[in-house]
Amino acid sequence: MKENFKLRVSQIEKSFPGVKALDKIDFAVKKGSVHVLCGENGAGKSTLMKIINGIYQPDSGQIYMDEKPVKINNPIQARTLGISMIFQEMSYVPEMTVEENLFLGNLPVKRFGNVNWKEVRRRTKELLLAENLPYSPTTPLKDLTISDIQMLEIIKAISYKSDIIIMDEPTSAITLKEVEKLFVKIRELKARGVSIIYISHKLDEVFQIADDITVLRDGTVVESHPKEELDIETVIALMVGRKLTTTFPKEHVAIGEDMLQVENLNCTNVFHNINFHVKKGEILGFAGLMGAGRTEVMRALFGLDPKTSGVVKIKGKEVTIKNVRQSIDHGMVMLSEDRRRYGIIPMRSVKENTTLSNLKSVFYAYRNHKKVEKKLVSEILNKMRIKTPNIDTPIASLSGGNQQKVVLAKWMIRNPDILILDEPTRGIDVGAKLEIYKLMTDLAKEGKVVIIVSSELPEVIGMCDRIYVMAKGTITGEINRGDFSQELIMRYATGTLTTKGVN
Amino acid sequence: MKLGSNFWSTVKKKYSIYMILVGLFIVCSLANPNFLSVNNLTNISRQLSVTTILALGATLLIISGMLDLSSGSVLALAGVFAVSTYKATGSLLLALSVGILTGIVCNVINAIMVSTFKAPPFIATLAMLTVARGVALLYTKGQNILQLGKFTELGQGSIGVIPIPIIFLIAIAILTWYLLNHTRFGRSLYAVGGNEEAAIASGINVHKVKYTAFIINGIFVGIAGVLFMSRVNAGLPNGAINYEFTALTAAIIGGTSFSGGIGTVGGTLAGAFIVGFLDNIMNLNNVDSYMQQIVRGTIIALAVIYDIRSRNRRAKATLVKAEDLGADKK
């Protein structure tokens, strides 16, 4: 025995019909350390974690805990062994209260099998107090923000007194401030001797929190090192198997005249006095903290939500947009932040999802032109390098990055003048991200307009020509590319600084 | 080798319902010599036409994530209105029009409740089920309307050897298939049922889709009402009770998914015929009618379980395929 490994897997193999998902994986986590797992979508991270959590059984290989061989048949058994997992895609019952959620599946019972609600209440209060969270045990989850719920999930994992906590993309839906809170929590856990397996696409975070980093690619471990021996560029190169020279494919593009002008857009209690404009060839960023109203402004602009007042001009002409159809007809389209909710029709094919917003181009002269549709879809899939077994595959079975690209393809075949992207790269892998950035650049070169709403500051700073910052439902600042800095954006976003007369 | 097994699993998934139908047909013809008699088969087809037309309307609604519990009652209401129109005017065409119009009006009301006021389809159409039956009984004062004369030709007549109800059924099935596969409405219907919010965000007019679906269902129900009354040679305000369930059963057995977004005309036709053949063979062999109910319920349960299981398996298989592709990027 060389080191003090809490968990070690040896020569794990797992095949699904027709594909080897994991090939002779060796992977070990030290006690009281944070071990980050990196890799593109489809590299095998989730499969490996599902094996450790007992959801899948390996075909061969062995799992050791404290160097003793164990067999993990299901997640409940994993929990008794001290392993718990926080999933990337949270599923929760909105009507359920904080305390019910915390003890779901683990409710303390009295002698006759009836739930000991007093005990539940007492322990919930204890946990909330210990973590310094301001909500009551009886608050329904629907009244909490996504990041609150994520914190709850983490508390829940802690409440099981787990020795190993697996976190799958825990920061994909929370704000910077909460990320810091989470990291404080993780360090506390580490100090208590808990081991953490942390999966993330956000490499800057990875380097803040990791002790060790393991990179997976195509179902094998590429390399595994202590953090000190690696840097971001190297990790990216290991992940994709090639060296990425620039992370952001930003190019200089000639800026034309105004494409979109928004004047005094209001929606009672949601946002107010929104004034902005964007010129042909510009990539415009909207930065701000979660809940600042950025998504709401874009949804109202796109006709998804109502607005109270305001003027919208496209190419200098005032337009009325009361529903999505009108917006599309004016050449303005929007990729929503929640792909599963607003983006995909999960059980329908890639083909149908792609042509959904452009049915007139494939249904005309009283019939569906199958050949035309097939050609249209295949072309855009090729152009955007979307990986799918064929165009009749249900979209739900593609990887997250490819799903996102199909939703984007749906808008690209409309050849829009104005493309609004709301958190377009959340939870997708580096390769797919890069392709989305490239697409943004291409559109700008064609004299189109891209508006990107993003909580990832490096992304807006890397890609945009201009950034508007929002706080508390209004625009607090406008920054030109020359003046971009994370600090300046954060000062506007937190409302500590406001520009007067932002146009 | 791999290709072969894939091929067979596709065939099995895609055509299993038709193989079951053929298998059942063979079993039925062996189980009772009368099953294959011309008399019996024309009889089944006339009866089946009515419920199958309802099932096709139900399929459209279920695909879009809704359902119609009122179809049996509205059928009766449309039927008695059509019958009394015929008795007053002697015009078959007018009678048929009144029947269809009744179906449309009731279903527009359904659509108003469901689409405009966002009432759950289950509750809204349950209300319509009660009201439409009530109106039918009120209008006829609970009496059957008899002596329909030539009105019966629609339900009992034939063109050549083909019973007229079957001609209606074929026309409606083709229309439904066309709507689902060759119109923007059909494509939108699948999208609305699959994920309504994503459909809205893609620029689909969801209200229009839902209203259209209900109106088409109304037309089908109206026609079914005329055919039904014509076949039984009476205006029965109490007729066609529970037909909505037969229609739903056919759609479910035919693979229409209650979670929306999935369903085909071929599946529903096969489902309707499976239910019809089973009912018929049990009647021919004098199976106790209470027993028949048990058999039917069991089959619904099995169909749903089979559907869910095969869908899960399929999802897993394609998922792996997609992961495979995702991993080999260069």
Q: What CATH number did the domain enclosing A270 receive? A: 3.40.50.300
Contact (Cβ atoms closer than 8 angstroms) between residue A297 and residue A470: yes
Min CA distance, B26 vs chain A (Å)? 34
pLDDT band at residue B311, thresholds of 50, 70 and 90?
low
The confidence score (pLDDT) of residue B186 equals 97
The confidence score (pLDDT) of residue A2 equals 53
Domain total for chain A? 3
Min CA distance, A499 vs chain B (Å)? 33
The confidence score (pLDDT) of residue A101 equals 81
Give the number of beta-carbon pairs within 8 Å between A and B: 128
Query: Which of these three, A240, A273, A297, is where a domain ends?
Result: A240
* Residue A129 domain flag: yes
Indicate whether A115 and A185 sit together in one domain: yes
Fold that domain B48-305 belongs to in CATH? ABC transporter involved in vitamin B12 uptake, BtuC (1.10.3470)
- Of A167-181, A248-262, A294-308, give the lowest mean pLDDT range: A167-181
Among chain B residues, the shortest Cα distance to A16 is held by B320
Q: What would the pLDDT profile of A256-290 be if each residue is shown by its tens digit? A: 999 999 999 999 888 999 999 999 999 999 998 77
* Residue A336 domain flag: no
Indicate whether A217 and A265 sit together in one domain: no
Indicate whether A409 and A421 sit together in one domain: no
Which one of B194, B324, B330 has the shortest CB-CB distance to A19? B324
> CA nearest A90: which of A79, A101, A103?
A101
**ipTM reported for the complex, 2 dp:** 0.89
Q: Give the pTM.
A: 0.78
Q: Residues near B45 by Cβ (< 8 Å), separated by ≥ 6?
A: B163, B165, B166
Tokens of A86: 């926080």
Do A42 and B318 make contact, defined as CB atoms within 8 angstroms?
A: no
Q: What would the pLDDT profile of A407-422 be if each residue is shown by its tens digit? A: 999 999 999 999 999 9
Indicate whether A168 and A304 sit together in one domain: no
Pick from A47, A218, A381, A387 the residue to mutate for testing the B interface (most B CBs within 10 Å): A387
The confidence score (pLDDT) of residue B119 equals 96
Contact (Cβ atoms closer than 8 angstroms) between residue A363 and residue A6: no
Interatomic CA distance for residues B80 and B236, integer angstroms: 7
Indicate whether A153 and A256 sit together in one domain: no
Residue A373 has pLDDT above 80, yes or no: yes
pLDDT band at residue B53, thresholds of 50, 70 and 90?
very high
Interatomic CA distance for residues B82 and B101, integer angstroms: 10
Which one of A343, A357, A431 has the shortest CB-CB distance to B203? A357
Consecutive H or E run containing A287: strand A283-288
Q: What would the pLDDT profile of A462-499 be if each residue is shown by its tens digit? A: 999 999 999 888 999 999 999 988 778 878 887 777 76
Measured CB to CB, residues of chain B less than 8 Å from chain A are 2, 181-184, 187-188, 190-191, 194-195, 197-205, 257, 261-262, 315-330
* Residue A316 domain flag: yes
What percent of chain A has a predicted confidence (pLDDT) above 90? 42
Rg of chain B over all Cα atoms, to the nearest angstrom? 21
Indicate whether A443 and A482 sit together in one domain: yes
Among chain B residues, the shortest Cα distance to A389 is held by B322
Q: What would the pLDDT profile of B67-115 be if each residue is shown by its tens digit? A: 999 999 999 999 999 999 999 999 999 999 999 999 999 999 999 999 9
* Residue A337 domain flag: no
Contact (Cβ atoms closer than 8 angstroms) between residue B217 and residue B189: no
Indicate whether A181 and A107 sit together in one domain: yes
DSSP state of A414: T
> CA nearest B202: which of A249, A84, A342?
A342
Do B181 and A388 make contact, defined as CB atoms within 8 angstroms?
A: no
Residues of the domain holding A352: 343-415
The confidence score (pLDDT) of residue A465 equals 95
Q: What would the pLDDT profile of B240-299 be if each residue is shown by its tens digit? A: 999 999 999 999 989 898 889 999 999 999 999 999 999 999 999 999 989 988 988 898
Instruction: Work out the mean pLDDT of chain B and round it to a whole number.
Output: 90
* Residue A428 domain flag: yes
Residue A165 has pLDDT above 60, yes or no: yes
Which one of A43, A348, A394 has the shortest CB-CB distance to B191? A348
* Residue A458 domain flag: yes
Query: In sequence order, what are the beta bridge partners of A109?
Result: A115
Residue with the bigger pLDDT between B328 and B41: it is B41
Among chain A residues, the shortest Cα distance to B181 is held by A368
B52-65 burial string, b = 16+ CB within 10 Å, else e? bbbbbbbbbbbbbb
Do B329 and A431 make contact, defined as CB atoms within 8 angstroms?
A: yes
Query: In sequence order, what are the beta bridge partners of B25?
Result: none
Which one of B197, B262, B326 has the shortest CB-CB distance to A42? B326
Q: What would the pLDDT profile of A60-90 be if each residue is shown by its tens digit? A: 999 999 889 999 988 888 888 889 888 766 6
DSSP state of B202: T
Indicate whether A370 and A469 sit together in one domain: no
Residue A208 has pLDDT above 70, yes or no: yes
Among chain B residues, the shortest Cα distance to A356 is held by B202
Indicate whether A411 and A423 sit together in one domain: no
Contact (Cβ atoms closer than 8 angstroms) between residue A278 and residue A316: no
Q: Domain coordinates of chain B in residue numbers?
A: 48-305
Indicate whether A440 and A495 sit together in one domain: yes
Which one of B198, B257, B320 has the shortest CB-CB distance to A344? B198
Query: Which of these three, A240, A255, A281, is where a domain ends?
Result: A240
Indicate whether A309 and A235 sit together in one domain: no
The confidence score (pLDDT) of residue A89 equals 60
pLDDT band at residue A245, thresholds of 50, 70 and 90?
very low
Min CA distance, A181 vs chain B (Å)? 33
Indicate whether A220 and A355 sit together in one domain: no
Residue with the bigger pLDDT between B328 and A282: it is A282
Contact (Cβ atoms closer than 8 angstroms) between residue A192 and residue A206: no
The confidence score (pLDDT) of residue A503 equals 40
Which one of A218, A397, A410 has the shortest CB-CB distance to B319? A397
Report residue B87 CA to chain centroid gap: 29
Chain B residues closer than 8 Å to A393 by CB: 318, 321-322
Residue A354 has pLDDT above 90, yes or no: yes
Query: Which of these three, A212, A240, A268, is where a domain ends?
Result: A240
- One-letter amino acid of A107: L
3-state secondary structure A112-133: CCCECHHHHHHHHHHHHHHHCC
The confidence score (pLDDT) of residue A339 equals 87
Residue A205 has pLDDT above 60, yes or no: yes
